């Protein structure tokens, strides 16, 4: 993309209403625009990041054998009356009446509807296991929406639901989700720590939240410092392998790690003192096993091998897709702006032309731009007639991980400058070498 | 995908409520499930088609230089009061009150909101031209939703909006949209004819609808038969070239083609009698130029080169993404089921194993399955223990364009059978040759 043809409405001033870094930086970098309290439009660069996150989620869900569907945003109140949640859900549920006077609601989650799909079409254990998921807009009418997309009212969520014949099978689905979430977050460049959590209105005994450590996190967290040394890495996983998934779960959940909701001071004190950490975290996902709670209420049963009928065991599993954009920035920024991890950056590399209109600079930049496109990468070329300082400030603010600077002096010596946004380090090299280096970085992802 | 691990709830009976082929076939092929009148869940295969259509729309919009954003589904009533449309829109607008008592609505279209984004961030002609678009769920509270996804209440639409300094520039944007829409529909395997239309509640003088000819279309259409001979083909387009876009518009709109809303009997009678056609059509898109109607109402102005301030010229442009799934089926089916065009098929090829459990058949199927995956294609392998007849019926119903049948007799002679869904023709050949043929078909798209 050429910046002269892009819509990147960066702000010079820091918006007064934004209390935390991600909200401030998303507004300043022209990623979002607030339309009402807790409701945002995603401008081109913000939407690009959202799509990259969505894409990673889809790829990792497919790898785990889960199937993508799409449920409507508006649901019938009757379905929620069947499960018994309609009256109890409280004011966060946005209730709507259509022109025929029928009660509807804007889906905050979809256990009822996905169970309705299941009961309409599945009747035998032979059709199990089954996991259906979607990435869809949800609405929760928060009384105090704040922190930008971190606690909005209309938000994008991945919500997945497993259906299994037995508790044992459903716990494998639980483990499979835990493993695939670890991979998902790591691909985005995030360390999200699974912590034992409270099940809240979804219900159930087994649940873990995934938390990203950040000073501005809403939850207080308590953990054994050894847990932050764990990485999933590039290990091969067979998602059908029950023992393998179980052992990953054990590896990542055997150390103490809890939020304030489930914190147990006595258990925490058993962690050696030098490894005890108290910090803050942002919740970016949660997994649940809740058994037959919804399948019984909604009549979702299957025939077993011996001919009897049993309600299926279920769980639900969420990733906060739009919230992740905020969490990524909270965990990756400095005074100058955002620092995107390579896995989710809106553009792979920025090209800064120090002397727009100079024939040799322009043609070097064009050649770089073409070379990246030919390699299937997505460069952002700042081809505006602006001072170098303004161009650098914009690049630092929007946080592309790599920048190539092209100036007349460098070009005369057949050199461009390659700068890493995270370290600030620069290196001079021929343009071809810079392209090769960038291409090899992204090829490794 | 292995069918044994997929969720494809095909129905044997024809659902009584479905009046037209696409609705019937989408239900029978397990693509959708009705949740309420005019509100559907998209099951895995339906969602895959929806995503393929979305992807084509995104790619063609990017090619035309348009920028993707995402606006929320819920909007403030105040914004619609500013444009004057809130009170007049009628009962099709779903009006909502949040917990704080604020009036909101589920967006049926987004001229107001996109203009709000524009006015907040653009103030100079130097930032023009600009076209922003989104693919987002919309809601229209139809009194009589019917025909499945063709006339639903919650539906997925691409809506794009151009902002230009002058009427002349805006008409180029109009032409650019017409050209890109022609390409978009052709890539899906659809002939969508631009017809002069009525502007309705959006307003404006310039508007064309894109209609797909189909017996079950809701509109009566009148056209010169020469128009159906036109194809866009693989011509190279420079979307910045005003004359080139204009000439494509003239080529595709100079012959008589109108819906009943704008039909002019006298003009139609000037078409030579043997070329006059009266048929039915499904509207799959519409483009509008409406000048300064919204920019004046909402105060979206820019400074011109001479320093004065003028309201921008706008247009809006829609593609019915979820409706297209229905339209594609109306235009591509037979008694046995759907016939997907290669551009949008949920799976590129089906593999039917006639003797599941037979070592040579199983390994031949596995090898085919792997080969397609290695080529980046998406095969559906029917690995169920089912009779051949049931497997063929399922493949015919779901309509993958190509099927490879593997049986013991063929394998003994080193042959598989390649069948074209559209023509029904089959050919025997070595498995490697069948893979090559399928790969080359999709490489050409």
Question: Do the chains contact at A70 and B30, CB–CB below 8 Å?
Answer: no
Q: Is residue A314 part of a domain?
A: yes
Residues A191 and A314 occupy one common structural domain: yes
B 34-63 → A contacts, CB under 8 A = 35-36, 39-44, 47-48, 50-51
Q: Which of B283, B318, B338 is the last residue of a domain?
A: B338
Mean pLDDT of chain B: 96
The pLDDT value recorded for residue B204 is 58
Question: Do the chains contact at A50 and B72, CB–CB below 8 Å?
Answer: no
Residues spanned by the domain of B422? 349-443
Query: A274 φ, ψ to 5°?
Result: -70, -10
Burial track B338-365 (b if 16+ CB lie within 10 A, e otherwise): bbbbbbbbbbbbbbbbbbbebeebeebb
A254 contacts A247 by C-beta, under 8 angstroms:
no
Residues A367, A360: Cα–Cα separation, whole Å: 11
A356 contacts A384 by C-beta, under 8 angstroms:
yes
A164/chain B closest Cα distance in angstroms: 13
Burial track A32-55 (b if 16+ CB lie within 10 A, e otherwise): bbbbbbbbbbbbbbbbbbbbbbbe
Q: Which residues pair with A414 in a beta bridge?
A: none
Question: Do the chains contact at B106 and A42, CB–CB below 8 Å?
Answer: no
Q: Is residue A209 part of a domain?
A: yes
Residues of B whose CB is below 8 A from A33? 117, 120-121
B207/chain A closest Cα distance in angstroms: 26
Residues A81 and A143 occupy one common structural domain: yes
Q: Domain count for chain A, please give it.
A: 2
Q: Is the pLDDT of residue B318 over 60?
A: yes
Residues B112 and B144 occupy one common structural domain: yes
Query: B85 φ, ψ to 5°?
Result: -95, -10
Residues B221, B263: Cα–Cα separation, whole Å: 8
Nearest to B76 among A35, A47, A51 (CB): A35
Residue B199: pLDDT band with limits 50, 70, 90: low
Give the pLDDT of chain A (445 residues) as one tens digit per residue: 999 999 999 998 888 888 899 999 999 999 999 999 999 999 999 999 999 999 999 999 999 999 999 999 999 999 999 999 999 899 999 999 999 999 999 999 999 999 999 999 999 999 999 999 999 999 999 999 989 999 999 999 999 999 999 999 999 999 999 999 999 999 999 999 999 887 666 555 699 999 999 998 989 999 999 999 999 998 999 999 999 999 999 999 999 999 998 999 999 999 999 999 999 999 999 999 999 999 999 999 999 999 999 999 999 999 999 999 999 999 999 999 999 999 999 999 999 999 999 999 999 999 999 999 999 999 999 999 999 999 999 999 999 999 999 999 999 999 999 999 999 999 999 999 999 999 999 998 8
Question: Do the chains contact at A122 and B65, CB–CB below 8 Å?
Answer: no
Residues B326 and B414 occupy one common structural domain: no
Question: What ipTM goes with this model?
Answer: 0.96
Question: Do the chains contact at B117 and A33, CB–CB below 8 Å?
Answer: yes
Rg of chain B (C-alpha set):
24
Query: Among all residues of chain A, which has the CA nearest to that of B138?
Result: A73
Residues of B whose CB is below 8 A from A13? none
Residues B255 and B382 occupy one common structural domain: no
Interface-testing mutation among A4, A43, A111, with chain B (most B C-beta atoms within 10 A): A43
Q: Is residue A302 part of a domain?
A: yes
Residues B374 and B427 occupy one common structural domain: yes
Query: Among all residues of chain B, which has the CA nearest to that of A76?
Result: B36
Three-state DSSP at B351 gives strand
Q: Could you tell me how far CA B316 lies from the centroid of its own chain?
A: 17
Nearest to A74 among B39, B42, B43 (CB): B39
Residue B17: pLDDT band with limits 50, 70, 90: confident
A5/chain B closest Cα distance in angstroms: 8
> Within a 10 A sphere around the Cβ of A108, how many other Cβ atoms?
19
B121/chain A closest Cα distance in angstroms: 6
Interface-testing mutation among B1, B10, B32, B36, with chain A (most A C-beta atoms within 10 A): B36
Q: Is residue B139 part of a domain?
A: yes
Residues A425, A418: Cα–Cα separation, whole Å: 8
Q: Is residue A365 part of a domain?
A: yes
Nearest to B69 among A41, A99, A141 (CB): A41
Residues B322 and B383 occupy one common structural domain: no
Tell me the CA distances in angstroms from B220 to B152, B256, B280, B281, one per residue in order: 20, 14, 5, 6
Residue B198: pLDDT band with limits 50, 70, 90: confident
Interface-testing mutation among B6, B27, B59, B69, with chain A (most A C-beta atoms within 10 A): B69
Query: Among all residues of chain B, which has the CA nearest to that of A112?
Result: B35
Residues B236 and B362 occupy one common structural domain: no
Q: Which of A318, A338, A358 is the last residue of a domain?
A: A338
Residues B289 and B371 occupy one common structural domain: no
Question: Do the chains contact at B30 and A121, CB–CB below 8 Å?
Answer: yes
Question: Do the chains contact at A73 and B69, CB–CB below 8 Å?
Answer: no
Q: Is residue A344 part of a domain?
A: no
A106 lies within 8 A of chain B by CB: yes
Nearest to B76 by CA among A326, A158, A51, A33: A33
Residues A369 and A302 occupy one common structural domain: no
Q: Is residue A343 part of a domain?
A: no
B125 lies within 8 A of chain A by CB: no
Interface-testing mutation among A65, A69, A122, with chain B (most B C-beta atoms within 10 A): A69
Residues of B whose CB is below 8 A from A96? 94, 96, 106
Nearest to B145 by CA among A100, A70, A78: A100
B65 lies within 8 A of chain A by CB: yes
A91/chain B closest Cα distance in angstroms: 7
End-to-end alpha carbon distance in chain B:
22
Nearest to B74 among A43, A44, A154 (CB): A154
Q: Residue B152: which CATH number?
A: 3.30.930.10
A121 lies within 8 A of chain B by CB: yes
Q: Is residue B344 part of a domain?
A: no
A8/chain B closest Cα distance in angstroms: 9
Q: What does the pLDDT average to over B12-16?
A: 85
Query: Among all residues of chain B, which has the CA nearest to that of A34?
Result: B117
Residues A268, B215: Cα–Cα separation, whole Å: 71
Question: Do the chains contact at A67 and B6, CB–CB below 8 Å?
Answer: yes
Q: Which of A280, A309, A338 is the last residue of a domain?
A: A338
Question: Do the chains contact at B117 and A65, CB–CB below 8 Å?
Answer: no
Rg of chain A (C-alpha set):
24
Q: Residue B409: which CATH number?
A: 3.40.50.800
SS3 content of chain A, % helix, strand, coil (to 5): 35, 30, 35
Question: Do the chains contact at B73 and A154, CB–CB below 8 Å?
Answer: yes
A404 contacts A350 by C-beta, under 8 angstroms:
yes
Percentage of chain B modeled with pLDDT above 90:
93
Question: Do the chains contact at B71 and A35, CB–CB below 8 Å?
Answer: yes
B269/chain A closest Cα distance in angstroms: 43
Interface-testing mutation among B9, B41, B47, with chain A (most A C-beta atoms within 10 A): B41
- CA-based diameter of chain A, in Å? 81
A116 lies within 8 A of chain B by CB: yes
Residues B267 and B397 occupy one common structural domain: no
Residues A437 and A387 occupy one common structural domain: yes
Nearest to B154 among A41, A42, A73 (CB): A73
Query: Among all residues of chain A, which has the CA nearest to that of B8?
Result: A121
B210/chain A closest Cα distance in angstroms: 26
Question: Do the chains contact at B143 and A40, CB–CB below 8 Å?
Answer: no
């Amino acid at each position: 993309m050429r910046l002269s043809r892009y819509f990147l409405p960066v702000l010079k001033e820091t918006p007064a209403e934004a209390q935390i870094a991600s909200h401030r930086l998303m507004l300043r970098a022209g990623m979002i625009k607030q339309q009402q309290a807790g409701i945002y439009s995603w401008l081109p660069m913000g939407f690009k990041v959202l799509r990259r996150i969505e894409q990673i989620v889809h790829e990792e869900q497919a790898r785990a054998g889960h199937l993508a569907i799409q449920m409507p945003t508006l649901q019938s109140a009757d379905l929620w009356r069947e499960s018994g949640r309609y009256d109890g859900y409280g004011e966060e549920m946005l209730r709507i009446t259509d022109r025929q006077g029928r009660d509807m609601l804007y889906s905050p989650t979809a256990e009822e509807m996905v169970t309705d799909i299941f009961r309409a079409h599945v009747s035998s254990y032979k059709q199990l296991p089954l996991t259906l998921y979607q990435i869809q807009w949800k609405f929760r009418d928060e009384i105090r929406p704040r922190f930008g997309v971190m606690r909005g009212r209309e938000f994008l969520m991945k919500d997945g639901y497993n259906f299994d014949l037995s508790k044992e099978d459903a716990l494998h689905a639980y483990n499979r989700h835990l493993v695939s979430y670890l991979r998902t977050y790591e691909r985005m460049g995030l360390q999200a720590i699974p912590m034992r959590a409270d099940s809240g209105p979804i219900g159930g005994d087994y649940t873990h939240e995934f938390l990203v450590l950040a000073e501005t996190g809403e939850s207080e967290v308590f953990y054994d410092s050894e847990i932050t040394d764990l990485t999933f890495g590039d290990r091969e996983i067979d998602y059908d392998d029950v023992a393998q998934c179980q052992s990953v779960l054990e590896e990542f959940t055997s150390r103490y790690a809890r939020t304030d909701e489930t914190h147990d001071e006595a258990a925490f004190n058993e962690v050696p003192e030098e490894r005890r950490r108290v910090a803050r975290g942002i919740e970016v996902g949660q997994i649940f096993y809740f058994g037959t709670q919804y399948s019984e209420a909604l009549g979702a049963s299957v025939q077993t091998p011996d001919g009897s009928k049993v309600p299926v065991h279920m769980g639900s599993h969420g990733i906060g897709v739009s919230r992740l954009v905020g969490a990524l920035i909270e965990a990756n920024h400095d005074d100058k702006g955002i620092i995107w991890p390579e896995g989710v950056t809106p553009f792979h590399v920025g090209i800064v032309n120090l002397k727009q209109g100079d024939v040799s600079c322009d043609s070097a930049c064009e050649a770089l731009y073409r070379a990246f496109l030919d390699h299937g990468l997505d460069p952002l070329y700042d081809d505006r007639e602006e001072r170098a300082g303004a161009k650098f400030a914009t690049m630092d603010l929007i946080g592309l991980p790599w920048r190539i600077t092209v100036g007349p002096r460098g070009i005369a010596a057949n050199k461009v400058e390659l700068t890493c946004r995270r370290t600030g380090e620069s290196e001079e090299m021929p343009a071809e070498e810079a392209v090769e280096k960038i291409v090899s970085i992204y090829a490794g992802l």
